[in-house]
Structure 1
Amino acid sequence: MLSVVKFVFRPFARKTPCAKMQYTTGVNIGLSPSYKCSFEDPVHVTVSGLNPQQRVDLRSKITDDNGLVFTASATYKADDSGQVDLSRHPSLGGSFTGVEPMGLFWSLKADEQSRKFAKTDVTRPALVDIEVLSNDKVIAKATNERHCMAKGVRRVPLTEGRIRGVLFMPPGTGPFPGILDTYVFRGGPFELRAALLAKQGFAVLALAFHGYQDTHKKAEKIDLEFFEESITFLRQQPEVKGQKIGLISISKSGDLALSMASFLSGISATVCINGCNANTLLPIHYKDICLPPLLWDTGKIKMTPSGILDVGDVMHDPMSKEYLPCVIPIERATGSFMFIMSEADRNWQSAYYARLACDRLKAHGKNNYELVAYEKAGHFIEVPYMPFCLANYHAAAGHVVYFGGEPKAHSEAQLDAWSKILNFFKKHLGAADYNYKSML
């Protein structure tokens, strides 16, 4: 039995005795198991009350925290009972075709392809409006509330010394394993992934690792001791004391995480998503150690047919004699690694870098790593059902660049990678299993 569905299109709605709202047309949208869910959870979408074999358009829309609208649409034909079930019936055209239970979600995109979905306020759910249209007229509408924080998760903004970021604590007193999340989105911490990890029983510090820099000055180096301070702060939390610490990273923060795991003590598990095996862009300093940066050759910049910069081949080869000093000595690490790589990543050669990292560990007699590959995914492998980002502004390049990948394959990669990341952290850090779905 489908759960009560929340409708918000007031002019056409009326209340029924069971508090469900429906259109006077008698057409209803079902969202199961509830119209509320966690951001990374699927929903079962159905439409009932249609005429047998009636063709309708389903349309979805979400507005991100920057006010940018993402949409998707698909055409369906009702069965003999007047029902459309996205888990059984194929889309006949639109943003996707075939049987795609979550197609209205993973295919969401903005009109301008070079935009990335922004979810900066995790205290509010993301709202996905779903409409049924017949002859271009809306005949039913429902809203799926996709919550970022579970009930009881604590969100604590930090300005502790040089540390800038947000700490997410699971419900209860712990003890909880700790995770430092070093993914930076537009200069600040990306909180969504950290909030979702907290639902799984991890204490997570989403770190703005440039927070200690004067944003009006161009950074000349990266101080690894700043990250050491952040990890020490996380360890000192009463709910974390005595627990293991993990790292999760993506892109440039990947080589930072590998450096932390190699030079700092007590890191038990590191997830590196589409990162590099060498230090990049800026020198990294730790005590008397300095790793020079792997740099790039702007002459290798290409242009896609749609006129977007392709920088996938501009970085120098870290295995060339000149740049070998940039390679991070990850064999020094005592913890375990998970390398997640996209074969179609055009930010840089992340698949090549991940294999180099694993080869280095193997050459030093290490078997403390897992390698996860996705053939057609792009650069930004994030949480499940995050809208696909084909291109966006690149801070280092100073332009919009092409990130590669195909929407459906990328969505499947995000779903699979999330499950593998959780299992990896639970295996190497340990965590309580929360029934977080009941905590919305």
Structure 2
Amino acid sequence: MASSQVRLRILPSARCLFDKMVQIRLEGLAPHKSVKLRSKLVDDRGVTFTASALYVADKTGQIDLSTSPSLAGSFTGVESMGLFWAMTPDTPHSKYLKKNVLSPTSVEFQALCEETGELLASGTNEREYLIEGMKRIPVAEGNIRGVLFIPPGEGPFPGIIDLYTFGGGLTESRASLLAGRGFVVLALAYYRYNSLPKNPQNLNLEYFEEALTYLKNHPEVQTSRIGIISLSHSGALALSMASFFSGITATACINGCTANTVIPVHYKNQVLPPLTPVIKNITVTDSGLIDIRDALPDPTLERNRSSLIPIERATCHFLFAFSEDDHNWNSSFFAKQAASILKSHGKESFELFGYPKAGHFLEVPYTPFCPSGFHGAVGREVVFGGEPKAHSEAQLHLWEKVQLFFKTRLGSKNTAV
């Protein structure tokens, strides 16, 4: 039972959007009392993520995570959101999974006496994905499958297609939060979802063209203001859409590749074969994880050019973001290569952001860090790279840059608070 004198406060509110910062404060402690703070969440797969930190109350009996340093635990120093970004899974190599954005992510906190383990106080932060009045509409129109998010207020709004990473299914977290900033966002699945193929032999760009047409024709969407956001494998799909389709204004490619990978891409009479990995460049870490960072060759070499995406044909603005410690592949090389290709064709319509010590999955802020996990194309656990704090800082910075990018290039009616 918690002590009646000690109070754990979550400010400004115990309910907030998932990407918002909160202030954690303990009050009513004995002066200079040592306290262990723990955080815990359970994702939609049932995997538990936890973090802990040791604090000492000030002379007034308070601990404020925005000013009080952690002395030991999952992190040290003053880290107001450390109990969020430092969480690790109890099952190794697990990536945080959130499928149902209609329910918040509950982060539970406990304050324990460091000496006895007695529970002093507890609280829960409900981190939501949908702002009030947002519409979430499952989409099964023609061939396309996904979920459409429409913000409240008077439209029409700019539109964005959200493409997630390799592995199939549908991820709605980023799409729902981005829609809260004044965009209509289509979270688009492209395999292993509903009636879509589980193991496609190729990916037809006509499917993505149909999705683009659907979004442009929606009455709540401004037809001339369409963007794409992508991550990892879907980066090549986003670049292909920008290269082969008209009517795309802005494309964000996060830790992507300049060439097609894994699954052949077909469009009309053209085929982009997957870039063939160099097996001898694959290594194994001391912990037994596969490291594929250097497996992909340079797609601009003559023998690989059939896999290279012709981004010089694109007329949109680009945002290329890369993690310098990405071990899924060499994102830094590919992002800089994309910028170089555009420059060589007289195009300067791109932004380039690099993040030292960040790993592969740059998600929305405060998503638990994923340094390793199962890779569908490899069939084993691989290392994804990065360091927790640097990765968290990268996610926070990039999220702001992504919103500014789309607001600048597409305009928006910001509705989130």
Equivalent residue, structure 2, for 1:270: 251
Equivalent residue, structure 2, for 1:18: none
Q: CA deviation at 1:184?
A: 4.3
Q: Distance in 2 between matches of 1:337 and 1:262?
A: 11
Equivalent residue, structure 2, for 1:215: 197
Q: Check if 1:79 corresponds to 2:58.
A: yes
SS of 1:235 mapped into structure 2: helix
Equivalent residue, structure 1, for 2:25: 46
Equivalent residue, structure 2, for 1:7: none
Q: Distance in 2 between matches of 1:212 and 1:112?
A: 28
**TM-score w.r.t. structure 2 length?**
0.97
Equivalent residue, structure 2, for 1:121: 100
Residue 183 of structure 1, aligned match among 160, 164, 179: 164
SS of 2:389 mapped into structure 1: helix
Letter in 2 for 1:245: I
Identity %: 51
SS of 1:299 mapped into structure 2: helix
SS of 2:223 mapped into structure 1: coil
Deviates more, 1:339-348 or 1:232-241: 232-241
Q: CA deviation at 1:108?
A: 0.7
Letter in 1 for 2:197: T
Q: Check if 1:250 corresponds to 2:231.
A: yes
Letter in 2 for 1:107: A
Q: Distance in 1 between matches of 2:324 and 2:195?
A: 34
Deviates more, 1:372-381 or 1:317-326: 317-326
Deviates more, 1:93-102 or 1:184-193: 184-193
Q: Is the 8 A contact 1:184 1:208 kept in 2?
A: no
Equivalent residue, structure 2, for 1:259: 240
**TM-score w.r.t. structure 1 length?**
0.92
Matches within 5 A, 1:19-418: 23-134=2-113, 135-184=116-165, 186-210=167-191, 211=193, 215-216=197-198, 218-418=199-399
Q: Distance in 2 between matches of 1:189 and 1:232?
A: 20
Letter in 1 for 2:83: L
Letter in 1 for 2:380: H
Q: Distance in 2 between matches of 1:172 and 1:57?
A: 44
Q: CA deviation at 1:86?
A: 0.7
Q: Is the 8 A contact 2:99 2:171 kept in 1?
A: yes
SS of 1:420 mapped into structure 2: helix
Deviates more, 1:277-286 or 1:43-52: 277-286
Deviates more, 1:33-42 or 1:281-290: 281-290
SS of 1:52 mapped into structure 2: coil
Q: CA deviation at 1:291?
A: 2.0
Q: Is the 8 A contact 1:29 1:45 kept in 2?
A: yes
Q: Is the 8 A contact 1:175 1:243 kept in 2?
A: no
Equivalent residue, structure 2, for 1:3: none
Q: Is the 8 A contact 1:165 1:188 kept in 2?
A: no
Which runs of 5 or more residues in structure 1 are unaligned? 1-11, 13-22
Q: Distance in 2 between matches of 1:85 and 1:214?
A: 49
Q: Distance in 1 between matches of 2:180 and 2:381?
A: 34
Q: Distance in 1 between matches of 2:363 and 2:74?
A: 21
Q: Distance in 2 between matches of 1:54 and 1:416?
A: 35
Q: Distance in 1 between matches of 2:223 and 2:253?
A: 24
Q: Is the 8 A contact 1:40 1:383 kept in 2?
A: yes
Q: Distance in 2 between matches of 1:105 and 1:130?
A: 10
Does the C-alpha gap of structure 1 residues 293 and 186 become closer, same or farther in structure 2, counting only changes over 3 Å? closer
Does the C-alpha gap of structure 1 residues 421 and 241 become closer, same or farther in structure 2, counting only changes over 3 Å? closer
SS of 1:157 mapped into structure 2: strand
After the TM superposition, list the runs of 4 or more consecutive aligned residues in structure 1 that deviate by more than 4 angstroms.
211-214
Q: Distance in 2 between matches of 1:374 and 1:334?
A: 26
- Aligned-residue RMSD, C-alpha: 1.4
Which runs of 5 or more residues in structure 2 are unaligned? none
Q: CA deviation at 1:162?
A: 1.1
